[in-house]
Amino acid sequence: MAAPFDLVLEVLGWIGTAAFATAGALTAARKRMDPVGFLLVAGITAFGGGALRDLLLGLPVAWLRRPDLAILAACFALAVFFLAPVLKRRGMGRARTPRVTLLLWADAAGMAVFAVLGAEAALRAGAAAWVCVLMGVMTASFGGVIRDVVCGEIPLILRREIYATAAAAGAGGFVALEALGAGRPLAVGLGAALAFAIRAAALGRGWSLPVYGGRGV
């Protein structure tokens, strides 16, 4: 059972890396960056949250030992560099262009995968349940935070978007199912599905968190 589960984690890691690299590259496209900018922003988005998680847990930074993931992120970044102009031309005149829509859904997929993988990595490191949830949220969102800061935007998790909440739900669902004895493979799958479902519902239905309505201080 261990070998098939390791394969599942490997595939999920590739999916999450590709999704976040795409989301980062699409942000670079909106900022009209050159290929180096695409590579940098894609890499930050794909690996920033996981690197911070590993440093806090006292683990070796995972992506530094995985050149295959770095190559994957670079390939998706360069693919977006060449394909984004096509998406822009096809989306002219629409309120939400295909490029922006793809950015949101790619980010949602990466968030769902990395929320659970981050919590799973913390669980393997022997962290407490609440730390696992926190590490899941960090893995899923802090690459995007760094990306947005570098690109001069307000980070997504600081807006009204239901994003960190979805990541916390997915990571928490994984930890709860694991504690209940559901088995790690099932817990990973259901946790990621829960995170993605919440984010997808928020995107599709326009759900958002309430904002502060009082006077500024």
The whole-angstrom distance between residue 207's C-alpha and the CA centroid of its chain comes to 19
Measured CA to CA, the distance from residue 23 to residue 106 in angstroms comes to 6
Cα four-point dihedral sign 189, 191, 192, 194: positive
What pLDDT digit, counting tens, does each position of 97-133 carry?
Answer: 555 677 788 888 889 999 999 999 999 999 999 999 9
What pLDDT digit, counting tens, does each position of 50-84 carry?
Answer: 999 999 999 999 899 999 999 999 999 999 999 87
User: What length is written for the chain?
Assistant: 217
Residue with tokens 């407490």: 128
Q: Coil, helix or strand for 208?
A: strand
Instruction: Kindly report the average pLDDT of the chain as a whole number.
Output: 87
At residue 217, the pLDDT reads 54
- Residue ranges of alpha helices (H) inside the chain are 2-30, 35-57, 67-90, 98-124, 129-150, 164-179, 184-205
| Residues facing residue 208 across a β-bridge | 161
Write down the pTM of the prediction: 0.84
Measured CA to CA, the distance from residue 68 to residue 161 in angstroms comes to 32
Cβ within 8 Å of residue 101, ≥6 positions away: none
Measured CA to CA, the distance from residue 20 to residue 24 in angstroms comes to 6
> What does R_g of the chain's alpha carbons equal in angstroms?
17
**Cβ atoms of 139 and 118 closer than 8 Å:** yes
Residue 91 has pLDDT above 60, yes or no: no
Confidence of residue 187 (pLDDT cuts 50, 70, 90): very high
Give 211's DSSP letter: -
Structure token digits, residue 39 = 């590579």
At residue 192, the pLDDT reads 94
Residue with tokens 């519902």: 201
Measured CA to CA, the distance from residue 161 to residue 43 in angstroms comes to 23
